[in-house]
Amino acid sequence: MSIPARIRDALAARLQTIRRVDGFHTDMGLAVTRGRVAYAEQDLLGGPALNLYTPGEDYLDHMGSQQRNVLNITVEAWGLFDHDADAVADQLLADIKAAVLSAEQPVLTDVAGPLGQRLEYVSASVDLPDPGQRLVSVTVSLRCPYFERYGAPTLPH
């Protein structure tokens, strides 16, 4: 499996931990989807949902027989609000940050060990609904620098 695929799997596992019983504001960890998905209000009646996808990677530099790339990652959260759209957006964003930006484990890992370098928060944007609508979305951009060997992109450095 490629290093980017392993990074996506490890990040999806962190997002799936988002549950109220574990101290989060929402249960959106129960509805994590890979790839871009657009939601309608009726899709979110059971609670908020998350999309995880990687729009690409960039070359950073090289050392010896390996190169350093950065995997660009997008996490989209979707939810409904009744009274305060800003509060729902704040909760969605806070849950994502708390799940993926772990102070105790800043580097994503899997059974084979660390995957790249520290997961980096880049930006977030909020899409508040038009009047009469109830759908709120938050888009979070992350980056994960990692090394791969020339000619062997599935092997860590």
Cα torsion at 88, 89, 91, 97 (round to 10°)?
A: 170
Can you tell me the distance from the alpha carbon of 11 to that of 65, in angstroms, rounded to the nearest whole number?
27
Mean of pLDDT over the chain: 91
Percent of the chain with pLDDT over 70: 97
Give the single-character DSSP code of 141.
E
**Residue 26 identity:** T
Domains and CATH numbers, the chain: 3-149 (3.30.2000.10)
Cα–Cα distances (Å) from 80 to 32, 43, 50, 83, in that order, read: 16, 10, 13, 10
Tens-place pLDDT, residues 119-145: 999 999 999 998 889 999 999 999 999
Give dist(CA 101, CA 98) in Å, integer: 6
Eight-state DSSP code of residue 97: H
> What pTM was computed for the model?
0.91
- Helix residue spans in the chain (DSSP H): 3-15, 85-100
